[in-house]
Every structure is written in structure tokens, then in C-alpha cells.
Chain A
Amino acid sequence: MSMEKDLSVTVAGVRFPNPVIAASGTYGFGQDYTDLYPLNKLGGISCKGTTLLPKDGNPAPRIAETPAGMLNSVGLQNPGVDAFISKYLPIAKKEGNVIIANVAGATLEDYKQAVQRLDTTDVDMIEVNISCPNVKQGGASWGVSCEGAAAVTKTVRSVTKKPLMLKLTPNVTNIVDIAKAAEAEGADCVSLINTLLGMRIDIKTRRPILKNNVGGFSGPAVFPVAVRMVWQVANAVNIDVVGMGGISTSEDAVEMMMAGAKAVQIGTAVFTDPYSPLKVIEGLKQYMIDNNLNSLEEITGTVQPW
């Protein structure tokens, strides 16, 4: 007989029935796995990154495999924020638990208008992807400088009271400074890590496998990098941290929470095993039973560093 356990956690004031969230870009808008299990099994879903206007993304191939991971260069293909709001959000809200919109932009105005439109919807949270290129700054991503991260945070904060989750890129020299910049401008929580920049080459053709040459690296191989960054950030900020990057088992999720995460997101593992989020949830429940926990928040940040 399985004991009833309350797996809920609260992130930036939003209650998740369990701490497992589908990571942006790996779970569409929540409709692609419902043949296997209902969306409401997950604590929440971060929807595919949307931009103000629809976007066609990068040319194919967009996917390359790596040892214990993968690269993607989807290039934020999405139907635009208006289609998200009218077509996808209502279904996700009806079928799922916490629904997080994920927005990206090439200019501050893009971010502002996209978030403004989301502000009047019933989306529960807005995750702001600052890993995308700032077109006015020669294409370096917003999230690689404190100024860029601060500017985006300030801009979106000025147009919404909805809980804001700033999603940090790991492709930086000091992620702590970036996280602090986002916190200072009013982010309610941060999520990390987005993908690491990577590359693979077909040695027969001397061509990169990705048509975009480079792409975002994710999956189990990045897990230790993600744990380290979550730990550093969680120690430095006073807002909640959502951890992701390579999580595929409940042990990984516990480890990420011990590093400082209140909730976790799972992306690439879903490609390997679509049931992996459910297995992580089951494993967390068992962990609570085995360790006599009343709340999973009891483990957040409990690593005892040497």
C-alpha cells in the first residue's frame, strides 16, 4: 500500500502539486504526450519558447546526438505569442497544473510586448529566456552580461505583476552575477540552466551535423554543470531557484534540490523515455517515504559542502 504524500512545492508564491516541470522546448504546449498520460500528472509545464511574431527557426538538421546528450538548433521556431494565447494556452490551462509561458525576444520591445500580452491571460507564470541573441548588440545573448539580463528583467517587470522566472544561460563566466542582476531588477525566481553551446562534426564529410553549425547542448552529460551552477546561484540569491539540465532520474532531482532548487524541470530525458517525468515523481514520493519527509522543500539547499 502506497502512503499518501504531499509532493507540492511553492515557487515564487505559485503552488506546484509536485516539483516536476516539463522544460521549455521539449514538451511543446503540453499536447504531444497526452496519448501516454494526462498533462496534470506533471507539476507544471514550461511551454515552447514563444516570440512576439511567429518564427520559422533554423534550417535542418537541427538535432545531433552526443555522448549522454544532444545538441539542438531549433532556433525558436514557434507560432508567435498571439497564437500561443488563443490556441494553445486555453487547452493547457484546462488539462494541466501550473502553466508557464516561456518568452524570448531579439529586442527589449519584443520582450515587452510579448509579456504585456501574456499579462492579461490566465497563464500562471512567465519564464523569460535570456539565452537568445540581442540583435542590437551584434547577436551576443542577453543573458551573458549583467546589463543585458538586468535590462530584460526590468523591461518585463514593468509590464506584468505575474510571477517572473528568469531563465539563465550557462554560457557565461560568472552566473552568480547574472542571477543577482535579475534579482535586483525584480525577478521572482530564476531557472537554470539553459543549454550549453556545443558542436559536432561528421568526420566523413567534414561538415557540422547541425546546419546551424553550433547548437544547444543538453541531457545527462550536462547534469554536473547544472548542479554546480544551481548551487552557486542558490547560495547567492534570496529568490527561489528552479533547477534543470540533464535530470533523468529521481536521484538526479533530489541532488538538484539539495544543491538549492525548489523545483526541477526535465527536458531531454523525455526524448529518451517519455515516462521519465512520471518515474521521477514516483521516485520522489518514495524518497519522501523512505526519509520520512513531510515536504520536499525540506531537502532544498541541504547539501553540506566541505
Chain B
Amino acid sequence: MPYFCDKYRILEREEIAKDIYSYVISCPEAAAYARAGQFVHIRAEGYTLRRPISICEIDKKKGTVRFVFEVRGGGTDKISQLTVDDYMDIILPLGNGFSVNEISDEKSIVVVGGGIGVPPMCGLAACYKNVKAIIGFRSKDRVILEEDLKRIGADVTVCTDDGSYGYNGVVTLPLEEELKKGKTAMVYACGPLPMLKAAVNTAKKYNVPCEVSLEERMACGVGACVGCACRINRNGENLVLRVCKDGPVFKGEEVVF
């Protein structure tokens, strides 16, 4: 699948929670190829390295891509200063994306997202008819994309660590409850490592295939520098693969946590 690198016009910008920004850019060529779970690599003026950010939603008809990121340090802060009609220097779409499989109407998929790992779940939810979304945050003021997932048609359960909103606790218990129903064809997860690990183990317990999206510090983003290594066990073989090119999505059981 080809990728592109250009300066793309910003169509929409919104601060959807404190320090969390949603952008929609116009990129018809790239949008035509983009898949859920892929990412964009954004240049931050004055910084050497680009910032990898997951694709949140893709509108192939309009030729747009949406992404959502939190300002964590200088680079994301710089990018967040760009406004509508500015141009953003982006390489996209990168990485492999989630696998989307044919499933019967009685079956559903579960998408599990933690914090800033929730955005890619929107694009993925749009690929399936029956979607259960279980999304976890620190507290009520950090909750993002709940309404978006509902708009896309997902049945959403929100969890907060402090119980200030929705289910009080981590995503693992609601996930287990959902899997117990025996209707789940596939589990997808993106978020902090402990959450991914829990999702993988829970899915395994119920014999449901699981895919997770990994994060690693990146330089090139396109597979050239081998900077973003992760350890994968595939067919009994220990491999060091690239999160940016071989991932960021991997089969849960293959990841060496």
C-alpha cells in the first residue's frame, strides 16, 4: 500500500477535552488507501522527529482523515497550534492497520480502548455492524469519543479509574462479561501496555482472537531505520519487528510483553 507525504489543509480543529485535539485534514489520495489502525506521522515545526498519531476516522467520499491527540510535550503542543486552513506536513497512511474480517450478523466484535488509545477504535468500529466498545479513562474529564462511537453505531461502555463516570474500574471486567456471552468474533485493543496485556489474556481465556496496536518511539515511521523495535513471537520464532511497518497492529498472542 502506498503512502504519501505532503502538506495537507486542515478542515476542522476542535479541543475535545483539556489538551486533547481533534483534527480533520483534506487528503483525498491518502484517504483512498487509509485503513483503520494505521497512523499518520506529523511534522512539528522546529522538531527533528515527527509525531506518530493514529488515524481516528476516514471519510473516503470526502477524502478526509481525522485524528485525535493529546498534548504531551513540545512537539504535540506545536502541532496543536495549527488551525483551520493551515497546512500540516504529514506522512500517511502508515503501518498495517487492523484486520477486518467477514463475520455473521449474530456475532459482534469488541473494541477496547484506553485513554489516548481510543481514537483508532472509531475507524475500526465503522467497519463492522455489531460493535461493543469498552473504553477506559482516568476520570470523567478525560473521557473522549464516547458520542462519536455511539454515532458510528457501537454499544459503548465507559470505565473510569476513579469511578467519576460510568463503570468504576478497568476495562478488563466489562470485557470479560461481554466475552462470557459467547457472541464475540474478535477483540481489538489499543492503549497502555498493562491494558493490552489484560485484553490479550482475557481474549485467550475465552478463545477469541485478539489484535493489539503497539506504541514505540519512532524516527522514520516508514520502516527504514529500525528504530521502533518490538519483540514478536511468530510460529515459535522470536523476531524483532518494526512497529511502524510490520505493525502497529499485531496478533495479541504474538506480542512478547
Give A residues with C-beta under 8 Å from B. Answer: 25-28, 32-33, 35-36, 48, 56-66, 68-70, 72, 74, 77-78, 209, 219-220, 268, 270-275
Contact = CB atoms under 8 A, between A and B. Distances in A.
B229 interface: yes
B48 A268 contact: yes
B227 A62 contact: yes
A32 B220 CA distance: 9
Given A35-B2, A65-B48, A72-B219, A272 B43 contact: yes
Contact of A72 (B3, B50, B224, B227): B227
B5 A275 contact: yes
- Contact-size category for B: 20 to 34
B226 A61 contact: no
Contacts of A26: 219-220, 224-225
9 pairs of A and B residues whose beta carbons are closest in the complex: A32-B224, A28-B224, A63-B217, A63-B227, A271-B219, A61-B217, A60-B229, A35-B2, A77-B226
A69 B217 contact: no
B220 A271 contact: yes
Given A219-B48, A271-B48, A275-B5, A72 B225 contact: yes
A60 B220 contact: no
Given A35-B3, A62-B228, A64-B217, A70 B48 contact: yes
B224 A74 contact: no
B230 interface: yes
B4 interface: yes
A272 B50 contact: yes
Nearest to B74: A65
B218 interface: yes
Given A62-B217, A63-B219, A27 B228 contact: no
B229 A57 contact: yes
Contacts of A61: 216-217
Contacts of A64: 217
Contacts of A36: 3-5
Contacts of B4: 35-36
A272 B49 contact: yes
Given A32-B223, A57-B226, A66 B48 contact: yes
Interface in B18-68: 43, 47-50
A268 B47 CA distance: 12
Given A33-B222, A69-B48, A70-B48, 12 more contacts: A36-B4, A59-B229, A60-B229, A62-B226, A63-B217, A65-B47, A66-B48, A77-B226, A270-B224, A271-B225, A272-B49, A272-B50
13 contacts: A25-B226, A26-B219, A48-B226, A56-B240, A60-B230, A63-B217, A70-B48, A74-B225, A74-B227, A219-B48, A272-B48, A273-B43, A274-B5
